[in-house]
Every structure is written in C-alpha cells, then in structure tokens.
Amino acid sequence: MGPPSFPRPSTGSSSRVWLLPGSEDNAWNLEARRVYAQWCAERGIDPEVYVLSESLSDLEAETIVTRLLVEQGAPKALVFSLSRTSRAILKALAASHLRTADDVRLAALTDSLFSRTAQPPGGRGCTHPSSRRS
C-alpha cells in the first residue's frame, strides 16, 4: 500500500494537516517528520507538528489532542505515529463533535491498534519510498 493520500489542499483550514509524532529521537520519528516536511513543502502547506510523548497515558494524550483541537481548530487531516494513541485521538475528535473521514481524515503510520479501534475503519500508510509500489 502506498503513502496516505489527502485531497489537494487549497487555502484556509482545509489545507491544514497535522503530524503527531512520538517524542523519542529515533529513526522512526525522525523519518516521519522528514517525510511530512517534504510532503508539506511540495504542496505549499505550513507544517504543523505536535509531539506526543510515548509515556503519556490515554487520558493525557486525549487531553492534549482535545486542547489542540480547541486552541488550533481542527485540521483537515491528522497523521500520527503512535498506534497506542489511536483511542485517545478518536475520543478527542468525538468530544469535539468531529467525525473521522467526514471532518478529519486520519492516517496512522502504524496500524495495529488503529485498525481495530477506528470507526469508520481507517487506512495505513508507509512513509519509506523504497516500500512504495509502482
């Protein structure tokens, strides 16, 4: 499966795509940030990166994402790399009366928990160019 596909952004809130990587300085998080920055640059989108610590509880992650939604307004799409935060992200969206796919598109860079908890079911993507199919 190829990388996540988002609609071509225009202007305003419909062009906003958030990245929520983990906080550790490992290859996984660094690569997600690099690919996201490149993707944004190619589309003329200002990057919006909000780091979520791997040590957060579900409630802490939900609180942070809810606060971001209130303070920043909802993005058109949200890409996250910590599969265990899926439930917290989905709860934060629901608490903000936002529907996945209709209001905010989601892309999980790992799909283990996301694919079991997302309603409606979500997709997965790979950011590594060598794994893309022609």
Q: Is residue 45 part of a domain?
A: yes
What is the C-alpha separation between 76 and 18, in angstroms, rounded?
A: 8
Q: Is residue 9 part of a domain?
A: no
The number of distinct structural domains making up the chain is 1
Confidence of residue 3 (pLDDT cuts 50, 70, 90): very low
Looking at per-residue pLDDT, the higher value among 15 and 79 belongs to: 79
Type and span of the H or E element at 40? helix 27-43
Q: Is residue 7 part of a domain?
A: no
Which DSSP string do the residues of 67-117 spell out, in sequence order? HHHHHH---SEEEE--GGGHHHHHHHHHHTT--BTTTBEEEESS-TTHHHH
How confident is the model over 83-122, as pLDDT tens digits?
678 889 999 999 999 998 899 998 888 765 555 555 555 5
| CATH number of domain containing 38 | 3.40.50.2300
Q: Is residue 3 part of a domain?
A: no
Averaged pLDDT, 57-67: 95
Q: Is residue 19 part of a domain?
A: yes
Q: Which domain holds residue 122?
A: 15-126
